[in-house]
Structure formats: structure tokens, C-alpha cells
Structure 1
Amino acid sequence: MGVVECALWGLFGGFAVEGLDFAGAIRRTGGWPWKQPEEPGPVPFLVSVVIRLAVGGGLAVAAGSAGQISGPFGALAIGIAAPLVVAQLAGQVPLTPGSADEPQDEQSQPGSPAALPHAGDDSSTVSTTTGGSDAE
């Protein structure tokens, strides 16, 4: 599948979500949403739609170029899920400078040597036998 086809399917996915959201807004307000005081005006609405479509199309192109999409439905799904994809990717990046380099307290790290029981501790006994009891 080519880059242009990925972009078009991603755009359509974004358009589908925006269209359904817009239909819900019309139903909720009983008319054009931008005519209601609590809703954004037509220009901010249009800008938000263009941003949503561009992100959906761009992510579909990126995934398609990387070989992560096998067909039109995958590109469509990326366009639909674009906000979730961006949120998940952004969650993988530390937001504060140096947060990944700061030392962590060893006691709070699962699997760290300080959190594991020591061989000489009598306070806990761990059985390594499977399927039986220690009193055999």
C-alpha cells in the first residue's frame, strides 16, 4: 500500500470520528453547535478538525512507511485512534528534564537487590519445590 493511500485512509478514519462527534454535537445542541455559548465558534471548530485529520493522516503515513500497516483497515484504524496513539507515545517520553537519569530509591524498585530477601534471613522461607510440600 502506497503512502498516498495510507494518508487517505488515515484521513478518512479521522473524518469518521469527527463526523460522528459533530453529529452528536448537533443532536445535543439542537442546531449548529457554534451558535451555542458553551461551544466553540466555527473557526476554532474548523481548525480542530483540520488538526485531527492531519494527525490521523500523518500517523497512517508514518506507520505505512515503516511497514506497520498491512492494508486499508489498518490505516483507517490508525486515523480513528490517532489521539490515543499520540497519547500513548507521549506517555513513553519523560516530560521533565533529567527525570530518566535521577537515581531511584532501591527499596521501591521491584526486583532490586535491596527488595529481594537475603539468603541469611530467617524471616521468610521460599520453597522452590513444585507440586509438593516442604514437609516430605
Structure 2
Amino acid sequence: MAIWPACAWGLVGAVLVEIRGLWVALQPFRAPKWPWRDGRGRAQVAGYVIAVVCRFGMAAGLDAVYAAAHQIAGPLGAVTMGIAAPLVIGQLALQHEPSAAEPPRQPAASPLRHAPERTRDTAPLAARAGETPGGTDAG
């Protein structure tokens, strides 16, 4: 899938998440709780807009990366990645974040650059197998 269509489908996924959030806020069995209002009922539209823009950016950005790597084959994958973008980015950040208890790891040396030289065994194969060099058993 091309990058720009994947980004558009990812944005559709992010919009679906926001629509669901509004749907949950307007359920009839609860008093409406608008996502852009704080606990005291004051409007906090700027914070809400920033959060929505960040979600849309994560959805489009992650879809662009996955589409460029040919990991998204169609619209369903792109929408799903757009929906899951904040969770995927959060998990990737947790996996690469070193904990305070463990020291930073040094990268291991490549086995191809510093491979130990192999020494050739000079003992004949027959002697290692318990046979005499003449082909007859000693016992």
C-alpha cells in the first residue's frame, strides 16, 4: 500500500477512536461528561485539541512507517494501526527504555569480525577413535 493512502486510513482509525470516546461520554445511563471539560466543569478545549492532534500524528506517522516498510497490505491493516498507534508506540518505548536498576548494556562484538582462529587437530582420526594406524584393533 502506498504511504499517503495508508496515512489517510490511519487517520480514519484515529477518528473512530475519538468518535467512540464521544459516544461513551453521551451514553444515556450516565450524565454526559465531555472529554474537553475538567473535573470542575470548566472548558479545557486547548488541551483536548492538543491530545487529538497528537493522536492523529501518531496514527499517521506509524502508518507511514509501516507502509514504507511494506507491512500494511490494505485499508483494514492501516485503520487497525491507526486505532492502535498510541498503544504500539507506548509498548515500543517501554521495550527500549533501560530500567534504573540495570546498567546500560554494551553491544556484543560481532562474531564475524573477531572470530577465534580454529586450531587443527593434529592427531589422526583413527587414533582418536581408538584404532591403531594400521587399521587393526589393539585389543
TM class, shorter-length: 0.5 to 0.7
Aligned match of 1:84:
87
Q: Distance in 1 between matches of 2:95 and 2:76?
A: 26
Deviation for aligned residue 1:31: 6.1
Question: CA RMSD of the aligned region, Å?
Answer: 2.5
Structure having the larger proportion of residues in helix: 1
Aligned match of 2:47:
44
Task: Map 1:27-42 onto structure 2 (within 5 A).
Answer: 27=27, 28-30=30-32, 32-35=34-37, 37=40, 41-42=44-45
Note if contact 2:98-2:104 (Cα within 8 Å) is conserved in structure 1.
no
Deviation for aligned residue 1:3: 1.0
Aligned match of 2:5:
5
Indicate the SS of the match to 1:62.
helix
Task: Map 1:9-28 onto structure 2 (within 5 A).
Answer: 9-27=9-27, 28=30
Aligned residues: 102
Q: Aligned match of 2:67 in 64, 68, 84? A: 64
Name the larger-Rg structure: 2
Deviation for aligned residue 1:23: 2.3
Could you list the structure 1 runs, at least 4 aligned residues long, displaced by more than 6 angstroms after superposition: none
Q: What's the CA shift string for 1:84-121, capped at 9, x where partnerless?
A: 1012211220335873428xxxxxxxxxxxxxxxxxxx
Indicate the SS of the match to 1:81.
helix
**Distance change (3 Å), C-alpha of 1:94 and 1:35:** closer
| Identity across matched positions, percent | 34
5+ residue gaps, structure 2: 107-139
Deviation for aligned residue 1:25: 2.3
Deviation for aligned residue 1:70: 0.8
How does the TM-score come out when normalised to structure 2? 0.63
5+ residue gaps, structure 1: 103-136
Indicate the SS of the match to 1:69.
coil
